[in-house]
Each structure stands twice: as C-alpha cells, then as structure tokens.
Amino acid sequence: MTPPGGRVAAGGTGCPRLRTIAAVPKLSDLGQLPKRLVVGRPVRSDRVGESLLPKSLALPIFASDPLSSVAYATQEILIVLTLAGTAFLFLAPWLAVVVVLLLATVVLSYRQVVHAYPSGGGDYEVAMKNHGQFAGLTVASALLVDYVLTVAVSVSAGTDNIISAFPTLNQHRVLIAVGLVALLAAANLRGVRESGKTFAVPTYLFVAGIVVMIVTGLIRDFVTGDPVVAESAGWSITAEPGYDDLGGLALVFFALRAFASGCTALTGVEAIANGVPAFRPPKSRNAATTLALMGGIAATMFAGVTALALIGGVKYAENTCDLVGFPGNCETDPQRTVIAQLAAATFGGDTSVGFFYIQAATALVLVLAANTAFNGFPLLGSVLAQDRFLPRQLHTRGDKLVYSNGILLLAGFAALLILAFQADPNRLIQMYIVGVFTSFSIGQWGMVRHWNREIRLSDDAAAKRAMRRSQVINTVGGTLTTAVLVIIVTTKFTRGAYLVILVMPVLFLLMKAINRHYSHVAEQLVPDQDARLLPSKVHAIVLVSKVHKPTLRALAFARATRPDVLTALTVNVDESDTRGLQADWERYDIPVPLTVLESPYREITRPVVDFVKAIRRQSPRELVIVFVPQYVVGHWWENVLHNQSALRLRARLQFQPGVMITTVPWQLESSVGRGEDDRRDGPMPGDLRRGLTDDQVEATPYG
C-alpha cells in the first residue's frame, strides 16, 4: 500500500526488503505559507549541483566583503592619523602602499590554500590537519567571531552611508541596521544562486562607480587642472590630548595603529578558501581565479580612494567636535563618510546624480558585503558540526539546499551586536580584524608544514620545485600576518580588541565540551550483547483518569500488543471520584482489573513513578510500557486546558531505565484540519468505530 502523500521507489538491485518512500510536500498547507513567502519553494536534494556558482556569481558573493572595505579602510587610517591633527597625514600614502603589498601577499597565500585544501575547510582544515585540534579550534573560534563582526560592521557601515545621503535618518540608525540584517538572512535562506543573482548587480555597480570616480578625480587633477576639493578640505582638526607632540617610539606606535586600522581592507579574503565547494568544477582553479580578480580589484580601488582623499584634502575625525569649521551641530549631526565627500567633490556636489549613485551603490555593497559571512559562517558551521564540535543541526541543509540554521544563528548574533553598539561602525571595527589575522597567521604556518610533508613524500623534481615556491609564498604570508596580528593586538587591545580575545576562548571551550559530549554519547551507544537480549516479560500499564473514549482506546491498543501483564492504573486523589470510576469500570464490564494507588497528599505523578520503580526493582529485566492517553488539540490555548498531568508524567518517566512511554492520541474535533480541496486529512473520532473506510472518509466533506 502506497502511503498517502508519498511515492514508493520500487525495483533496482538493492535489498528486496528495503523500500524508499519519497515524500511530496504539500505547498498548499497554510502553516507553510509564511515560510514559503520568505524562502520560496523547496528544492530537491538531487538538484544540489544546480546551486554551484560560476565565477561571475562567485565574485560578488564571496568577494563583496573585501571589495566593500574600500568604503571604510581609507577612512579608518584617516581617523587614527587625525588624532594628532593634520601633522601626520603625510603617512597615509605610505601606509596604503604597505596595506596593498600585504593584501597581495595574502591573496597569493590563499591561492595555495584553495589548491591544497579544496574541501572548504579553509584555515580551519589547514590548522586541524597540520597543527592539531588546539590550533584548529582556535582558528574556528576566530573565524566564527569574525563572521559575526563582518555582518555587524558591514551593515553598520552601509547604514552610515545611507545616513550620509539622508542625515535625517540618523535617529533610526539601529532600526535600519537590524532590518537590513533580517533582509539579508531572508535572501540567503532562498538559496545560494538566488542570493548571488540578487547581489551580483550592486557589487558590479559599486566597482564601476568607484573606478569611474577615481578616474574622473585623477583626470581633473592631472589633466584638466581642476582638482577635486572635499567639503572638509578647509577645516582644521584639534589634536587629541597627548597626540600633539609625538616622537620616537610614540610616533612608531601611532603609525602602527593607523596601519592596523587600514588592514580592515583585508577582511573577507579567507571567505573564498572556505567556500570552494560552492564553485563549479574545476573548483580549485575557479576559486583561485576569483581570488586573483578580487585581490586586483580591491587593491586598485583602495589605492585610488586613498590617493583621491589626499588630493581632495578630506578630513575625518573620531570625535566630530574636533573638526574646526564643521558646519552643523557636532553633538548630533553626523560627519559625511570619506566616500560621500569624494563623490560630492568629484561629481559636482551632494545633489548630483553621481553623488547619489555612489552613495546608493556603496550602501548596497556594504550591506551585501555581509553576504560573505552569510555564505562562510554556515559552511564553516557545517564542517565543525560534521567534526562534532558544533550541534549536528548546523550540518543539515534546509528546503533551499542551504544551511538554514547557520544563517539564522549568524543573523541573531549580528543583530545583538548591532543593538549593543548602536550600529556604530567606528566602535565595532576596533574588534573586527583580531579574528581575521589570527586565522590568517595559523593557517599560513599550517601551509608551511603541509608543504614540508608533501616535499618529503614526493619524488618528482618539478613538483618539488613548485611546492617549494608555494612554501616560500606561505612563509612570507605567515611572517607578515603574524607581525600584523601582534600590531593589532598591541594597538587595539584597550579599544575593543580585548572583547574578541575574551570571547574566542569561550567558544573554544564550548566546542571542546560539545565534542566531549558527542564522543561520550557515541561510546554509550555502541551495540553490545546486553542490547540484544529480549526482556524477560512485558508489563503494560494504562493510566486511567475516567472511563471515556481515550481510556478505552488506550486499553485496546495495550491489549493489542499482547503484554505478559496488563494493569489499568489510577491514582486516588478524590474519594468520591475514585468510587465513581470503579462503578463505571464494573458497569462497562472492562476485562482488565483496575488498580488504585492511594495518594494521601493528592499527588498524581509520584505514586505512578514509585509504582513503576517497584516493578523494575522486583524484575530488572522486565520491560514496562506505560500507555498515556493524550488529547490532540487544534489551538495553542487548548494545550493549557488539557494534557498537563500527562506531560508531567512523561517528563518524569522518561528518566526511568527499562521504561517505555507510549502516547495514545485522541483527536478532538478542533485538531482535524483541512487538506487540499477542502477535504479532511483523515478520519474523525468515531469514524472507524462506525465502520467508515478510508475511501468513504475521503469522500465525505469536512463539516
């Protein structure tokens, strides 16, 4: 008999006793409607290959974070340098050159990773296989924190650019940011390819707009002799106390702090290494090509924006009231972002089409940059869940073949961060790159060990030369990223980095605890000889409150199992009710003796549990099956009125060894819903007793 709503796959050469039933979802179910409006129609598992990405979609999906960091990386350098007024702005181009060189080195290093480890584990897999579990979990904790911060920082920075175009929205900053996180989560729940198509156009529009702005600004400066002049070019900056007279080691530390802020341009580079499985074959080559494209575009845009900011004389201070000449109220009015000032200066003011185009594209790409995390976090969570370091639910794909639980978890934590820091990107960004460079450094040194092992195992001279070249690249990358990590921790520790340094060990210990739990459970569940022994006998207990249809059904089901002993059990909490029950029991001539437990303190749960324990003590190998009649209701509020005693009993009995709990449902009329074509999904209570067959029931309209 074919089950309703399913198909039986017959034939084949497999075991003749095995049947595969393919369930067909009913999309007309009203309970599924809100979910379908958000995520769309479900996708079959055998279509997973159709969700793989070509390079044209992989670039905006995985590289939107490093590309969008152009919008705030230069700004972060200027924020630090202007703490000392304008005296040290001459350091900006040199710091930008070092950041670009570092970016190129990291991109080259990660090209080696995607070829050596194409499974998508990225730095986590590299660390786990080459350094061991401690390093692997350190990288995992760093990446998980980094992905959450990526969403919070990118969305907050995007909100900042929206406010630069429409300053009156400043009072709704947090609400806008949280709403954008919810929209991103919904888009990603619809599936990788669908979100990729959604995000591709804004990313390419942003790249095109920034390139046009840079080229236009440079042509105006070097060709037409009409250089861009930012709105803040004529302002001066009051130096913060302690920064007005820097020299020696203090100046070096100051420059290193500005460099560390500029390293935000490197965030998101690792996402492609973590997302290799999402590429179309040949996966490694396509991922490496996308990395190279991303690195080249990001470096070009970052260098161009920094050059244009210096040409235009942009001023941007951490404290708005330090800007001498700021036209608004420094306590309440926001500064325009660096990108906004450059767009206005290049395209003819803050009412020009070019200005609004750049602001719209920048805000969009910054918000969509969080999509890098929405792809990387669930993939990493799936790998960690498969390795038993995170809950197994994170390894399960949802209706759209995406890791839905990981997406929802990321959105929740990012929204909490945005609320805690009031969607202020300048505060959030101080915590941002600690996790990034932790994973960079451990991963690169892991690759050095990987090449050492591969060189020892290889006999091919040409292959060895290629491996040594890769090893040199990873050595340089590891050296630089480790140095930068030390700089970041040193210069940003008191400004927020300490929070990440505290959270990472907590995540590390949590993952270790989850792994220990899963390992301990697996040891307990290994089959042994005792698990195959049959119980000496079966003692069935039916809980009775009164003689009614649910009780009679439970008794009938219990008798159908043919137990060795069958006990109908009630608890005497009211003498008159119990006498009435005994009278009804005799009047209906029920062929099972009724056992009454005395309860002088009017408890129900404890006497039943003690009765079951007594049976188990007398015969430890005896299986006790407790049949619990339970109403099935159709409205949430009906649960408050029914089943409370049954729920308490089940909660206590499930901890007793050798005891099975069997719920015998009785569907009330409110629980019988409607199927397709306004027909009942099954028989009403009493239909079977009246002799109606399934066909007759299905032919009878509900009501």
Whether 510 shows a pLDDT value over 90: the answer reads yes
> Which CATH number covers residue 61?
1.20.1740.10
CA dist 187 and 203 (Å) reads 16
Residue 678 CB-density burial (10 A; 0-12 exposed, 13-18 middle, 19+ buried): exposed
Asked if residue 513 is part of any domain, the answer here is no
Whether 219 shows a pLDDT value over 60: the answer reads yes
**302, 339 in Cβ contact below 8 A?**
no
Structural domain of 591? 529-671
Between 578 and 671, the more confident residue is 578
Asked if residue 636 is part of any domain, the answer here is yes
pLDDT for the residue numbered 530: 61
Residues 549 and 413 in one domain: no
pLDDT for the residue numbered 6: 45
pLDDT for the residue numbered 154: 86
Asked if residue 583 is part of any domain, the answer here is yes
Q: How far are the Cα atoms of 245, 251, 254, 258 from residue 248, in angstroms, in the given order? A: 10, 5, 10, 16
Asked if residue 215 is part of any domain, the answer here is yes
Asked if residue 695 is part of any domain, the answer here is no
Reported as a pLDDT band with limits 50, 70 and 90, residue 425 is: confident
Token pair, residue 204, equals: 């390419």
**Poorest-pLDDT segment among 5-9, 335-339, 552-556:** 5-9
CA dist 353 and 570 (Å) reads 80
Which of 428, 461, 488 delimits the end of a domain? Answer: 428
Between 30 and 174, the more confident residue is 174
Closest CA to 159 of 240, 41, 233, 71: 71
pLDDT > 90: what percent of the chain? 27
CB atoms under 10 Å from CB of 326, counted, come to 18
pTM here is: 0.70
- pLDDT, tens only, 324-360: 888 888 887 888 889 999 999 999 888 899 999 998 8
Asked if residue 31 is part of any domain, the answer here is no
Which alpha helices (H) appear in 223-247, and where do they start and end? none
Asked if residue 460 is part of any domain, the answer here is no
Handedness of CA 571, 575, 577, 580 (dihedral sign): positive
Which of 428, 450, 465 delimits the end of a domain? Answer: 428
- pLDDT, tens only, 377-419: 888 888 888 889 998 888 777 555 578 888 899 999 999 999 9
CA dist 314 and 90 (Å) reads 13
Residues 337 and 211 in one domain: yes
> Which CATH number covers residue 586?
3.40.50.620
- The count of structural domains within the chain is 2
Asked if residue 374 is part of any domain, the answer here is yes
Whether 687 shows a pLDDT value over 70: the answer reads no
**Poorest-pLDDT segment among 234-248, 253-267, 445-459:** 234-248
Between 544 and 122, the more confident residue is 544
pLDDT for the residue numbered 506: 95
pLDDT for the residue numbered 117: 86
pLDDT for the residue numbered 491: 82
pLDDT > 70: what percent of the chain? 84
Q: How far are the Cα atoms of 73, 246, 327, 345 from residue 338, in angstroms, in the given order? A: 10, 25, 16, 11
DSSP reduced 3-state for 693: coil
Whether 199 shows a pLDDT value over 70: the answer reads no
pLDDT for the residue numbered 14: 44
Q: Mean of the per-residue pLDDT values for the chain? A: 81
Q: How far are the Cα atoms of 369, 484, 488 from residue 433, in angstroms, in the given order? A: 15, 10, 8
Half-sphere exposure of 589 (CA within 13 A, CB side): 0
Residues 224 and 373 in one domain: yes
Residues 315 and 201 in one domain: yes
Between 488 and 61, the more confident residue is 488
Which of 385, 401, 428 delimits the end of a domain? Answer: 428
